[in-house]
Structure 1
Amino acid sequence: MSAAPLLETRRLVIRRGDRITLDALDLQVPAGCVYALLGGNGAGKTTALNALLGFVTAASGQALVDGIDASRDPHAARARIAYLPENVALYPYLSGIENLRYFCTLSGLRLSLDSARALLRAAGLPREALARRVGGYSKGMRQKVGLAIARARQARAMLLDEPTSGLDPSAANEFARGVLAARDEGLAILMATHDLFNALQVADRIGILRDGRLVAELQARDVAHDELERIYLRHARAADEVSP
């Protein structure tokens, strides 16, 4: 990667008690790149995101957001990140537009009605759903509101934690289009996921975590789905063999 990374970990070690949850993790995500981080439960994917958000402190090494050490200045690091969790917490009695404008207000942003509509439509939310209460939305529609909220913050980087979990193939495909639109606008995007198909659909680069270690790194354009599945399962079986 020739561009300077907006998201970067340098020999990052995270400990939880006596256990190492990230072990000398090195990864880089420049502007205009989607990096998919694959791995099973407990592999360290969410821990990597939390380190960049400054929610966990590095035992050694660094988690950097636009050059800012997230352990030393978590507020400045988070100010440059848009974060989309697996389950987006929205107010069910407010509409999609109202939720978007409310969360922008909490971040100190004033968003016009037209801008809110445009962001939600760009995220893939149907026009007829914009003014409906979120309580009647599917999970896929809620994720699209979350994506619009993330993009409204005009952050330089985005973290996605299992964003397509529980979505049907159509909803996952629509969500992928929104992620690619954000990438094409120049965001650096790090996505933790179990979804191999979605990883190949949106990622430029793919890393596989096992027991907190980056055990494989691939260019998405160079690997087919069946090959990625074989590589992923090989590492998963290796982890099972060494487990007590």
Structure 2
Amino acid sequence: MTDIFNLSGRVAVVTGANTGIGQAIAIALANAGASIVAVGRSSMDETESAVRAAGAGFHVIKADLGSIEPVKNIVAETISTFGKLDILVNNAGIIRRADSIDFTEEDWDAVMDVNLKTTFFLSQAAARHMLERGGGKIINIASLLSFQGGIRIPSYTASKSGLAGLTRLLACEWAAKGINVNAIAPGYFVTNNTTALREDPERSAGILSRIPAGRWGTPAELGGAAVFLASQASDYVHGTVLPVDGGWLAR
């Protein structure tokens, strides 16, 4: 049974892999045997140490995903380094908080560009290579806000709702061609994006009271879902948005 989760010989691109969810997913994929290409603006030293400790190959691509300009180079450099691209994890994302009545066009565009636009065009570039090779796995990192509204994060909610729709659309187009497109929807995890919420006693208490598991998630707890969706175990799974949320949506 463990063989169907084995990623030995696979090559995975993980965006935003310097910390938090992206780092945890990169490490999980490496522990399953995949070589990792980590994409982002910040230092990947900590991620590299953990990936190499797992015995996996590692390569860094410095890129600002606020524009689609680096997209073609990411795929080309991955292929040049490791010879192929099997798995793409679209994790990079940003958030801006303000009341909707005051929300600026700049904050709207910044979030939509990273969270949705670049994700689509990177998926497109990866799929062109995957189609030539007969298949691959694309995993988008969605959110509980793919299902719910939230407050004070209009562009984030719009982007993550759009990402759920995009996941389904790409699955419909590419499933018969051997590419699995799915998403993970994390609940409330201990990451940089949730620092403001965790440091607000009232908001934090309200969130915890809604989570059946009774605690915030840790990024490492997303690793199993990522390995599943990247592996042979999910070959007949297409277009799903998998919540990993401590039971939040069940409440």
Is this a same-fold pair by TM over 0.5? no
The structure where helix makes up a greater share of residues is 2
TM-score if structure 2 supplies the norm length?
A: 0.37
- Between 1 and 2, higher relative CO (CA 8 Å, sep ≥ 6) is seen in 1
